[in-house]
A and B are shown apart, each in its own frame.
Chain A
Amino acid sequence: MRIKVMKFGGTSVATAEARLRSAMRVISAKEQGFKPVVVVSAIGRKGAPYATDTLISLLREIDPDVEPEAREMDLMIACGEILSSVIFAHTLKTLGHAAQAFRGGQAGIRTDGIYGNARIVGINPSSLIRSVENGHIPVVCGFQGTFVDHPGAPGGELTTLGRGGSDTTGAALGAALKAEAVEIFTDVDGIKTADPDAVNHAPTLRKVTYDEVAEIAHLGAKVVHPRAAEIAMQYGIPLWVKNTFSDDEGTEIVSRENFPGRRVTGVTHTGKLVYLQFDLSGAGETDRTVLESRIYETMARYGVNLFMLDVSPSSTGFAVPRSQYAIVENVLDGLVIPVEGDPRRVYLFQIGLQASREVETQAKLLGLLGEVRRVPASLTEGCTMVSLVGHEYMQQSGLFLQVLSVLSENQISVLQVSDSDYSLSVLVTESERDRAVKLLHQRFGLDEVS
């Protein structure tokens, strides 16, 4: 059987018209001799009535101070994909093509028991194969599976796969069904050399490697999730990113061996970041280790993602997503660390060079008991990370010089830099983000890439 897995994202199933376009793509694949297996996301993006965010809000709005149980949250958000799969299957039926909707569990997707961020542990695709053999087009809910605690347990627990869940469903089903290809349909022509909002003429990349996609995705361009790319790479399945709404050929994601060579792939940017730099110059060497250790321990414990780490003998710094900054401020501002072996001396963390009223009060109270040493953290809000992503390019001599020169010549201040085998990133203010992306895009000849 020539199976093709076709995954449609939220915008591709958002309206009746979009679903019709998507359904016609499925029918076209069928007419070309493929046996299509469809995977769908929830209908629409943020704000749409059945989008995942809307369903989450329904629970959260009951009482914002009470965190819903992860199990119940999974049951709630899975409804989005269930609605979507049933509507899509019926759309196909109205067009004269028999189709069956499947929940993740019904499609044989088994996961571990981690609600909200489950991993696929195995797939039994027999129900999907039977459906295809009976002449149906299976339409599977993306982003979900079933956890079975022990053999013989009644039913199973519905779980969701977390970030990139529907892409992951598509790639994993492609692997389990030995599909000829997995196609991820979205509302852009494929993977672009830059965000079209910053560079409106950014060309579509025709071919990229799994590694490049993973780096691009992690540094801001969320067209396909790296989890899906990894599964496709592991099983050697051709993975495509295509536009539901255009006839563009899209981007093919291939292994490194099939697309060698040195190149700059694209320029990406992350979302909004806040940069913090902790001044540890007031601490002795042993105390500095304790303080640094506590900073990172706290960030780990509260699940904060760090970017652009910078360590030196007198300071430590990193950027955090603005969405997580409130956590950082809440747990670190006013944190007190006692000095080992000296009960009369403590360190007091202070976020921002101006202490909050709470920190000042704490300092006064602690001051009555002994010596208080401040650990101030300077704060730069409104930052973003702009990255040049490439393949076998980052080891070029003079690359940093080129990047920093072009930004400096155009009066863009760089707050910090970082690099890896696949990328070179600069931290700039949000207001300079699009200009920095444009300048680097132009400087590295990406306007003409294809």
Chain B
Amino acid sequence: MRSKTMTETLNCELDPLPLLGGSHETEFEKRRGVSHTELRDGFAQVHVTQLVGEVMPARLAVLQAVAQVQVSIDFLKLTPTGLSFLVPSDKAAVVETALAGTDAKFSVRRDRSIVMIHAVNIRDEEGLIALVMREAIAAGTTIDHVGDMHDRLLLVVSEADAVRLQSRLQARLDEESHAH
């Protein structure tokens, strides 16, 4: 393992890491690394903050209010004083009304998109999730939330950032494909 020194860390210049795996897709196995990206838009993110009293029961009360209006939520995240989650844009108004009937302080950010970065066995490919995160951050994207599945990473971002991020990742993939 590398031994870390102050001089080294101050001066380190790192070579770019590839998003694509070293070998091509074969008759039997998919190529390692990111294969393609995809966009899903039409979401709104609800942020609930400053819950009073015990946080978990207060969070449950919020989720109860949303469940009562039959809206399915995605990308739930627990925050120190509340929670945030994603709902389809066309349900945002219903959720706002439902939450207005509770004591919760909340805000809703519309125009959210999900950028899906497909990579076979992404959780098993050491460092790949971190690498995609690094690329997304380097693209200047403000990431609202992250999720993952066995074959993809999902980033919740604004619609404008989503298009930019997808283009950047695609450009990287094209560049690496040509280099191979």
Residues of A within 8 A of B (CB): 112, 114, 119-123, 163, 168, 172, 175-176, 211, 214-215, 217-218, 226-227, 230-231, 234, 289, 292-293, 296-307, 309-312, 327, 330-331, 334-338, 346, 362, 365-366, 395-401, 404-405, 408, 413-423
Contacts and interface: CB of A to CB of B under 8 A. Distances in A.
A421 B26 contact: no
A401 B63 contact: yes
B75 interface: yes
A293 B134 contact: yes
A396 B56 contact: no
Contacts of B2: 330-331
B131 A296 contact: yes
Interface string B82-95: 00010000000000
A310 B4 contact: no
A305 B67 contact: no
A120 B22 contact: no
Interface of B: 1-2, 4, 6, 9-10, 14, 17, 22-23, 26-30, 32, 56-57, 59-60, 63-64, 66-67, 70-79, 85, 120-121, 123-124, 126-131, 133-134, 137-138, 140, 143-151, 154
B4 A300 contact: no
Contacts of B124: 163, 218, 226, 305
Contacts of A234: 28
B4 A120 contact: no
A399 B78 CA distance: 15
B106 to A, nearest CB: 16
Contact of A300 (B27, B134, B154): B134
Contacts of B138: 293
B150 A121 contact: no
Nearest to B136: A296
Given A296-B134, A300-B131, A396 B72 contact: yes
Contacts of B9: 335-337
Nearest to A418: B147
A421 B126 CA distance: 22
B56 A292 contact: no
Contact of A311 (B1, B30, B146): B146
A305 B126 contact: yes
B137 A292 contact: yes
A423 B74 CA distance: 11
Nearest to B131: A300
6 contacts: A231-B28, A303-B126, A311-B145, A331-B2, A336-B10, A401-B60
A348 B133 CA distance: 21
Contact of A414 (B6, B22, B78): B78
Given A163-B124, A311-B145, A401-B60, A305 B129 contact: yes
A296 B130 contact: yes
Nearest to A109: B28
Contacts of B151: 214
B67 to A, nearest CB: 3
A309 B1 contact: no
B127 A302 contact: yes
Contacts of A230: 29-30, 120
A112 B73 CA distance: 43
A106 B39 CA distance: 45
B137 A296 contact: yes
A304 B28 contact: no
A356 to B, nearest CB: 12
Nearest to B21: A119
Contact of A119 (B23, B67, B128): B23
Most A CB contacts (10 A, CB to CB) among B29, B57, B74, B144 go to B29
Given A300-B134, A418-B147, A422-B149, A327 B1 contact: yes
Given A309-B133, A310-B146, A397-B70, 6 more contacts: A214-B121, A218-B121, A218-B124, A311-B143, A311-B144, A311-B145
A148 B143 CA distance: 44
B104 to A, nearest CB: 14
Contacts of A399: 72
Contacts of A175: 28
Given A112-B22, A417-B77, A404 B63 contact: yes
Contacts of B10: 336, 338, 346
B129 A121 contact: no
A398 B76 contact: no
B150 A419 contact: no
Contacts of A298: 130
Nearest to B154: A420
Most A CB contacts (10 A, CB to CB) among B10, B26, B28, B147 go to B28
A236 to B, nearest CB: 14
Contacts of A299: 127, 130
Contact of A309 (B120, B129, B140): B129
A419 B147 contact: yes
Contact of B56 (A114, A397, A404): A404
Contacts of A338: 10
Nearest to B69: A397
A304 B133 CA distance: 13
- For the complex of A and B, list the 9 residue pairs with the smallest distance between their C-beta atoms, beginning with the closest: A303-B126, A398-B67, A299-B130, A300-B131, A296-B134, A112-B23, A300-B130, A309-B146, A401-B63
Nearest to B153: A309
Contacts of B30: 230
A367 B121 CA distance: 44
Nearest to A118: B23
A115 B67 CA distance: 51
